Amino acid sequence: MDEIITLQFDGGSRGNPGPAGVGVVLLSADGTPLVTLGRFIGNATNNVAEYRALITGLEEAARLGAGRLVIRGDSELIVKQMRGEYRVKHPDLRPLHQRANELMRGFASAKIEHNLRAHNALADKLANLAMDKRRDVTETGDTPPVEAPSAVGPKAGERVVCARCGCVVQIVAPSPVRPHQLKPFVCQCGNPMHTPDVTHTTD
């Protein structure tokens, strides 16, 4: 994946240390959410949670196949430590800092920037919801869930069939839209159309 992916991350703790959660948002170049994830991580400090959020986001970006990243978080400490502007003094943060650096080196390019809290609202909301529910979450309730990306886009010559009326559509030229933005074919009868498991002959 050659486009620049934006990673927004946030971590929080209730008690510092206390019950903690992380929030991660991955956005495509056009702003489409590709991943929204909140994760409960047990008891931790705020700074540990922030690092865990960054690490989780980097792991999700690698899983997505991202090559170039812009990383944004609202923790000045973590951003400046990752840039080498602050030393990592606390022993609990050193292995997390090292792991985050290892993951960042796995991308063709990755730069980290400070994000104002107001611009990090979704990641913050996901982290808090994960703390509330004490489990992983993928939506906040007031935003639609992110649709899972298609494994691959359609290819020329493929056909989709309506199981209800037997209508067939053959793809002549695949859409240039990225697979995660494609919607399923819907027949004129209103039924979703699918690629058949076996080839059907048509007149």
Digit-by-digit pLDDT tens for the chain (203 residues) are: 789 999 999 999 999 999 999 999 999 999 999 999 999 999 999 999 999 999 999 999 999 999 999 999 999 999 999 999 999 999 999 999 999 999 999 999 999 999 988 889 999 999 999 999 999 999 877 544 444 444 456 677 788 787 778 788 887 876 654 554 455 677 777 777 666 643 333 33
Q: What is the pTM of this model?
A: 0.71
- Fold held by 4-133: Nucleotidyltransferase; domain 5 (3.30.420)
Say if residues 52 and 44 touch (Cβ distance below 8 Å): yes
Task: Characterize 68-95 residue by residue with b for buried, 16 or more Cβ atoms within 10 angstroms of its Cβ, and e for exposed.
Answer: bbbbbbbbebbbebbeeeeebeeeebee
pLDDT in the model for residue 145? 45
Residue 134's contacts (CB-CB under 8 Å, 6 or more residues apart) are: 19, 40
Which of 138, 3, 146 is closest to 66 using CA atoms? Answer: 3
Q: Where in the chain is the domain with CATH 3.30.420.10?
A: 4-133
Spatial distance between the Cα atoms of 104 and 101, rounded to a whole number of angstroms: 5
